[in-house]
Structure 1
Amino acid sequence: MTAFLLYPFIIVAGCLQALGNSMNAQLRGKVVNPWLAATVSFMPIVFVFATLFFTMPTPLPTLDSLGKMPWYAPLGGVAGAVAVFGGLAFIDKVGAGPFNGLTLTANIITSLAMDAFGLFGLQASGFKPLPWLGGLLMAVGVIFIARTGAKKEDGDETSTTGKLLYPFIIVAGMLMAIGVVWNAQLRGALANPWLAATVSFVPVVFVFAFIFLLRPTPLPTRDDLKGVRWWMPLAGITGAVAVFAGLLFVDKVGAGAFNGLLITANLLTSVALDHFGWLGMKQVRAKPARLLGAGVMVAGIVLISVF
């Protein structure tokens, strides 16, 4: 199967990731405690992937493949969850626009660098000007969309204290990209994709549940829980489709193309969710500036994917 035939599946994964983000926001509002919300969101993922593994337990890894597995491979889920933690901890301090702009731009640049230098087992493609130009266009498009959305959502300009958090947010964006590649390494070592997905998510649930036990307040009231819709706890499963796609496809299409397609589909879906006010989101009409940012992103991913 050629890489281009995989692109539609990656685009669908990016769309579902955006839906998962919006569903998580609704869950966070009803459950009140962010660590409890994250635990509730991630636990069904482990249950689903573990069930699929017990249903389809073969192939299994060999001692040889386990011996060759890099030490960092099982930490792919944790690396990706750093961005979730960043959102929980920092987004109210720096604003949604700057946070998303910084994390996604760092993700794109890191992905291109991993492809160019062949990091973490990827095949080195060397420096190619057009994909990097595409990455620059995508970064501009991301910032355009984030900043135009931030004016409505965040109101005031980011404070100096918030700007001091930018390096940590950039690292979170880099780890998002690296986590995808580490998950692909885990998939190669464990052979069974369902087992790999389970191993990737178990540490994430453990970390969030542990933090919730350390910081159990505030807790939701009975009225809060009455507002939880049946689909809210499924947010993690919706977003996990992107992680599973990474397990299967990133070594076939490259980190740059995979993350670029995923981010583009994610942001375009997010623009649509805002524009129409779906899933309980506050309606924010897509003005020409946001549509221009989306168009620039599409041009960027074309350069990354084709060249």
Structure 2
Amino acid sequence: MQASSIEGVAQATPKKNLLRLLLLPLVILAGMGLSVEAGLLGPLGVQVGHLWATLSIFGVGSAILFLLLLFSGPQKGPALADLPRWQLIGGLLGPMYVVVLTLATPHIGIAMTMIAILSGQVGKSVLIDHFGWFGTARKRVNGERWIALALIVAALVLIARG
């Protein structure tokens, strides 16, 4: 029985690696989309106000998500009311992120805004991984992760000076 368990792990690893390989370009493209969003939101916020710009972006996004849900069929999982309330904090963080993006971009530029956001994201992500917060698998901070974080902070400093 132990041999079959080991074989199952060996078979799952190439699939997991392939999935990671396929998802990485998708995530990079999504990151590029955030830069485009910042470029759109900055001027929109100046024209109509930062909160209206944020509301319009979330309104369009909500309408698209509603259509996707409508045509994707029944969804698996618990009802929204059955989820722990702390898991819904993202509903607060998303608009805060977009408002800050809308406010900052016209003043400090897209590159500076994005690298500052990236610095915060990677810094917090390293802590979340290290401590296994929010039910994630623990990944201890090692030398490579510290170097990566330091390089991102160095990029922030260089872009700020440039």
Q: Identify unmatched segments of 5+ residues in structure 2.
A: 1-11
Answering whether residue 150 of structure 2 is matched by residue 292 of structure 1, we say no
What does residue 177 of structure 1 align with?
35
1:214 to 71, 89, 92: 71
2:97 to 229, 242, 249: 242
Q: 1:221 to 1:229 in 2, by over 3 A?
A: closer
Conserved? CA contact 1:181–1:246, under 8 Å: no
Shifted more, 265-274 versus 212-221: the winner is 212-221
What per-residue deviation string (whole Å, max 9, x for no partner) do you get for residues 180-227 of structure 1? 11011111221x2222211111010011111111113233246x964x
What per-residue deviation string (whole Å, max 9, x for no partner) do you get for residues 110-139 of structure 1? xxxxxxxxxxxxxxxxxxxxxxxxxxxxxx
Code of the aligned partner of 2:101: G
Q: 1:169 to 1:285 in 2, by over 3 A?
A: closer
TM-score w.r.t. the length of structure 1 is: 0.44
Code of the aligned partner of 1:198: L
Q: 1:164 to 1:187 in 2, by over 3 A?
A: closer
* Higher RCO (CA-CA < 8 Å; seq separation 6+): 1
Q: Which has the higher helix share?
A: 2
In 2: Cα distance, 1:206 partner to 1:176 partner:
19
In 2: Cα distance, 1:244 partner to 1:196 partner:
8
Code of the aligned partner of 2:114: N
Q: Identify unmatched segments of 5+ residues in structure 1.
A: 1-153
Shifted more, 230-239 versus 243-252: the winner is 230-239
Answering whether residue 59 of structure 2 is matched by residue 202 of structure 1, we say yes
2:135 to 259, 274, 280: 280
Answering whether residue 18 of structure 2 is matched by residue 159 of structure 1, we say yes
In 2: Cα distance, 1:255 partner to 1:293 partner:
21
SS of the aligned residue for 2:85 comes to coil
CA shift at 1:294, angstroms?
0.9
What does residue 6 of structure 2 align with?
none
SS of the aligned residue for 2:77 comes to coil
Q: 1:174 to 1:284 in 2, by over 3 A?
A: same
In 2: Cα distance, 1:181 partner to 1:189 partner:
13
Q: How many residues align?
A: 150
In 1: Cα distance, 2:23 partner to 2:99 partner:
34
Answering whether residue 31 of structure 2 is matched by residue 188 of structure 1, we say no
What does residue 158 of structure 2 align with?
303
Identity %: 21
In 2: Cα distance, 1:158 partner to 1:171 partner:
19
Answering whether residue 109 of structure 2 is matched by residue 259 of structure 1, we say no
TM-score w.r.t. the length of structure 2 is: 0.80
In 2: Cα distance, 1:260 partner to 1:275 partner:
22
The RMSD of aligned alpha carbons is 2.6
